Amino acid sequence: MNIGITCYPTYGGSGAIATELGQALARSGHKIHFISYSIPFRLQEYNQNISFHDVEVMPYPLFKYPPYTLALAAKMAAVAEEAKLDVLHVHYAVPHATCAFLARHMLKSRDIKIITTLHGTDITLVGSDKSFYQITKFSIEESDGITAVSESLRQDTLSLFGIENEIRVIPNFVDTNRFKRKEAHCDLKNIVQEDEKVLLHVSNLRPVKRVTDVIRMYVKVKPKIKSKLLIVGEGPDRVPAQELAAELGLRDSVVFLGQQEGIDDILSCADLYLLPSEQESFGLSALEAMSCEVPVVGTNVGGVPELIQHGKNGFITEVGDVDKMAEHAISVLSDDAYRSQIGIKARQRVLDSFGEDRVVPQYEAYYEEVLNR
Ligand code: GMT
C-alpha cells in the first residue's frame, strides 16, 4: 500500500506512535510518505520505503499566523497525487483531520481513504474547546476510518462529540526489542550511586502531568529509601517543580535532566516509573517503562487502567493521592524480589497485548477494511 502519514513531528506520544507505525509498515513493504513541517523525531532508521515531504509555509508580513494548515493540505494533495496514496493516516485530529479533508477535496482523480487516529487532548482539551469544536467534529465525521488509542478515549469522543461513525480502538504499542531491560547500558553512574534506587518521570512537564505530585510523593519516599528522583523533559512546570523540590529540601536528590534522547537506556536504570497525570488517554511513557520491566505507579484516569492491572503488573492510585503513591513506591523499592516480579509481569503484559507485532497488524487490517468498504 502507499500510505501517507501526518503527525506532530516534535516530542510527544502521538508523533512517536505515528512514526513507529510508519517505520514498522515500511519494514513490511508498504511505501510510507511522512508529510509534516519537520522530520519526525523518532524517524531514525533508513528504509528505502520511507520518504519525508517537508511542508513549508511562506512568511509574509500580512500573516500574523502563517497558514500552516493550508500549506499542509496542499502538500497532502500533491503527495497523494504524485505517490498514488491509497491511505492518508493522520494522527491527532486538530488540525490534521481537517487538512486531510481539504486535500481529498482538492484531488480530482484519486480515491483516497482518510484515517484519523485520535490520541487524547485533540478530543478532551483542544478539540472540545469551543473555538475548535465544530470543525473537529466535522473533520472526524468526514474521515473514512477513525481509531482511538483506548476504549476510554473512544467513550470520551462519543460523549463529547456525539459522533455516530464507528470508532475502532487500536491501542498504542512499543518496540519490545528496543524497549527492554539492558542493565549493562545504565549510564547514570555520575548521577546515581550504586546503592541508590532510581525513580523516574518523563513528560513534557505541562500542568496535566502533575509533576509536582511526583515531588510531593518523593519527599515521603526519600527518608525511607536511598534514592534519586530523575525528571526528564522540558515544559512550563519545570520551574515550579524545581522550586518545590528546593523548598522541600530535595535539591540534591531530584535531578532534572531536561530533554533526552535514548529514553530506553534511561529506563533501563529505573526502579520505578511515576505517571501522576490528571488526564492520560493511554500513557505511552508508562507502556515504554513496563516494556523495560519498570513497575509503574499511575493514576486512575483515561486509558491507564486499560494498561496497568493494579497490584499485578503495576499500581493505580487516585489523582493527587501522593500518600498512596508513596506507599506503593516504598513497598516496591524496599523489596527487590517484589520489584522485579512486578517488572517481569509488566513486560509480560506488554508482550501479550501491546507489542509492535500485536498492534501494527491491526492497523494494516483496518486499512484493508476501510479500502474495501
Ligand atoms: O494529548 C496530548 O497531551 C499529546 C499527545 C501526544 O501527542 O503525545 O498525548 C496523547 O497521546 C499519546 C499517544 O497516543 C498518549 O499516550 C497520551 O496519553 C495522550 N495524552 C493525554 O491524553 C493527556
SS3 88: strand
pTM score of the predicted model = 0.95
**What are the residues whose beta carbons fall under 8 Å from the beta carbon of 101, sequence distance 6 or more?**
114, 138, 139, 142, 143
**Ligand 1 near 227 CB (within 6 A):** no
pLDDT confidence band for 31 (50 / 70 / 90): very high
What percent of the chain has a predicted confidence (pLDDT) above 70? 99
Q: How confident is the model at residue 184 (pLDDT cuts 50, 70, 90)?
A: low
Does 301 have pLDDT greater than 90? Answer: yes
Q: 248 CA to middle of ligand 1, Å?
A: 30
Query: Closest Cα partner for 210 from 310, 298, 314?
Result: 298
Q: Is the dihedral of CA 288, 290, 295, 300 positive or negative?
A: positive
pLDDT of residue 89: 98
Which of 20, 10, 9 is closest to 284 using CA atoms? 20
Mean pLDDT of the chain, nearest integer = 96
**Residue from 60, 48, 88, 50 nearest 72 by CA:** 88
Mean pLDDT (whole number) for 160-180? 97
Residue carrying C-alpha cell 493550508: 70
Cα 247 to ligand 1 centroid, rounded to whole Å = 30
Please name each of the domains of the chain with its CATH number: 2-173+356-371 (3.40.50.2000), 183-353 (3.40.50.2000)
pLDDT of 262 > 90? The answer is no
Using pLDDT thresholds of 50, 70 and 90, give the confidence band for residue 108. Answer: confident
Does residue 185 have a pLDDT over 70? no
Segment 205-230 shows an average pLDDT of 97
| pLDDT bucket at 261, cuts 50 / 70 / 90 | confident
What is the band of 255 on the pLDDT scale with cuts at 50, 70, 90?
A: very high
In tens, the pLDDT along 315-347 reads 999 999 999 999 999 999 999 999 999 999 999
Nearest partner of 52 among 31, 74, 21, judged by Cα: 31
Q: Give the tens place of pLDDT for each residue, 57-80.
A: 999 999 999 999 999 999 999 999
CA-closest residue to ligand 1 atom 12: 13
Q: Report DSSP letters for 246-274, one per residue.
A: HHTT-TTTEEEEES-S-HHHHHTT-SEEE
Ligand 1: does its nearest atom lie under 6 Å from the Cβ of 172? yes
Question: Do residues 317 and 217 touch, judged by C-beta distance below 8 A?
Answer: no
How remote is the CA of residue 166 from the centroid of ligand 1, in Å? 21
Q: What is the pLDDT of residues 359-373, one digit of tens each?
A: 999 999 999 999 999
Distance CA 127, CA 153 (A): 13
In this prediction, residue 177 carries a pLDDT of: 96
Q: Is the pLDDT of residue 131 over 70?
A: yes
Cβ of 31 less than 6 Å from ligand 1 = no
**Ligand 1 nearest-atom number relative to CA 121:** 1
Average pLDDT, integer, range 93-116: 94
Residue 348, pLDDT > 80, answer yes
Three-state helix/strand/coil letters over 170-188: CCCCECCCCCCCCHHHCCC
Calculate mean pLDDT across residues 36-61: 94
Give the integer Cα–Cα distance in Å for 152 and 302: 5
Residue 284, ligand 1, Cβ within 6 A: yes
Cis, peptide link before residue 95, omega less than 30° from 0: yes
* Selection from 30, 35, 110, 9 nearest residue 367 by Cα: 30
User: For ligand 1, what atom is nearest to the CA of residue 209?
Assistant: 23
